[in-house]
Amino acid sequence: MRLVILGPPGSGKGTQAAMLVDELGVPHISTGSLLRNAAKRGTELGLKAKAITDKGELVPDDIMSDMIEERLSREDVANGFILDGYPRTVTQAKSLDVMLERLHKPVQEAIHIDVDPELIIERIAKRALEEGRSDDAEETVRNRMRVYAEQTAPVADYYEDHGLLTRILGDGDIDEILQRILSVLKVNASSD
């Protein structure tokens, strides 16, 4: 299964992607986590990226493409992956397509988690307390939502144009949302 999970900040895509690992048996690849780990290790790239993510902006496409290409070249993705946080721009979506075409392993499904913006602010405020993410400050969250609307929402349209997108509702408890995703994957797989 080669799956892309899309959704605005705080839509729960990271939580769902992590839960899908057990269900699908493929790794969860979160570019946000890769960037946070690089920052924690204090690498040059990590520190440069932290200055950008702390403002709620996007890390440049060429840096992200190199990062995802390296990650997708590892052995554990032989049977697929769950991508969370990548692609975040149409340019990234196109370069991912080129990368995966070369491997004859195109994206099979894209799922967009729809959530009410009010709910997002509430969830992120909670996460800020629990995880202490430096980009969860309210001003940064507002910028991330703006960046999402301008640069990432078109990625959902891109997958829709390619007949790969399903939108699901992101309200309710996390198990309910997981079941929605699993039923989409089952239905779509049986119609392939």
64 vs 177 by CB, closer to ligand AMP: 64
Among 50, 88, 112, 123, binds ligand AMP (CB under 6 A): 88
Q: Let me know if 142 is a catalytic residue.
A: no
59 interacts with ligand AMP by CB under 6 A: yes
Of 19-27, 48-56, 157-165, 167-175, which part binds ligand AMP (CB under 6 A)? 48-56
Q: Let me know if 146 is a catalytic residue.
A: no
6 interacts with ligand AMP by CB under 6 A: no
Q: Let me know if 94 is a catalytic residue.
A: no
Of 15-23, 28-36, 97-105, 118-126, which part binds ligand AMP (CB under 6 A)? 28-36
53 interacts with ligand AMP by CB under 6 A: yes
Amino acid at 131: E
CB contact at 8 A, 151 and 6:
no
28 vs 144 by CB, closer to ligand AMP: 144
105 vs 127 by CB, closer to ligand AMP: 127
Q: Starting from the edge strand earliest in sequence, which strands make up the sheet with 81-84, in order? A: 28-30, 81-84, 2-6, 109-114, 165-169
Residue entry with tokens 């946080």 = 85
Distance between CA atoms of 121 and 118, rounded to whole angstroms? 5
Catalytic residues: 13, 88, 127, 133, 144
Instruction: Summarize as ranges the residues that interact with ligand AMP (CB under 6 A).
Output: 9, 30-32, 35, 52-53, 56-59, 64, 85-86, 88, 92, 135, 144
